[in-house]
Amino acid sequence: MLSSSLFLPGPTAAHLLTAPESPIHLSAGNTALLSVSLNFSPLVPEYFQLRWRFDTGQRLVLILKADRCLAGTAGPRPWRDSCRINIVKLEGYKHRAELGSENASLVLQNVRAEDSGNYSVTVLAFNLKLSANIILTVTEVEAPVTLMTAAGDRDYEVTNAIQLSVAGVILCLLGLILAEVRNALLLLEMPSSEDSDGLYYNSSY
């Protein structure tokens, strides 16, 4: 875990902000959880800000403003229950960014490739500054070639082949029929042997 801490005057005064070391890898369209733990010790500041920033895109994502925090509520979660909290989402993140239920984590919905990069979270209070970083990598999913389209193309090719084959058979049959008709006509035009003999006999007589 990466952590950032600042020690305030006093033997036991320490505040801690921790984030995972490993980058987060997601496919486009999923929800990213940038998990961060904010721990105040021994006391929660009466007022502080928590800012999530997309450093790669050079823009703020979300600002949490906490004030009127009750004393004696140190720990990983109690500050959310003991402070009056106001959350401001910046342009481009109003419908995609949320403060996660896990402490100070950022939830980013429907991530895209352009969301890839370094995110930083910073806590600011009187005499206090904590920061941590998380790297998010989003991979676009290539649209697969649908089997329906491929099957449709194959069906189209098969249909064409069948049509060409049928056309070839029909042409052959037509050729045979025409040849038979031609032979029949030739036979009708030729005189028979009996007629030839008769003509010969009559000419001799």
Assign residue 90 a region: left if phi > 0, alpha if psi is -120 to 50, beta otherwise? beta
DSSP-derived 3-state class of residue 193:
helix
- Most confident region among 5-9, 30-34, 103-107 by mean pLDDT: 30-34
pLDDT value for 146: 57
C-alpha closest to that of 137 among 116, 166, 158, 122: 116
Angle, CA 125 vertex, CA 68 and CA 84 arms, to 5°: 25
CA atoms within 13 A on the CB side of 178: 6
Q: What is the pLDDT of residues 56-77, one digit of tens each?
A: 999 999 999 999 888 655 555 5
Instruction: Categorize the per-residue pLDDT at 162 as very low, low, confident or very high, splitting at 50, 70 and 90.
Output: confident
Assess whether pLDDT exceeds 50 at residue 203: no
C-alpha closest to that of 53 among 2, 147, 119, 6: 119
Paired tokens of 172: 């052959």
Q: What is the mean pLDDT of residues 174-192?
A: 74
What secondary structure, in 3-state letters, does 25-83 show? EEECCCCEEECCEEEECCCCCCCEEEEEEECCCCEEEEEEEEECCCCCCCECCHHHHHC
pLDDT value for 166: 79
Model confidence, pTM: 0.63
Higher per-residue confidence, 186 vs 93? 93
Q: What is the pLDDT of residues 17-45, one digit of tens each?
A: 999 889 999 999 999 999 999 888 778 88
pLDDT value for 5: 44
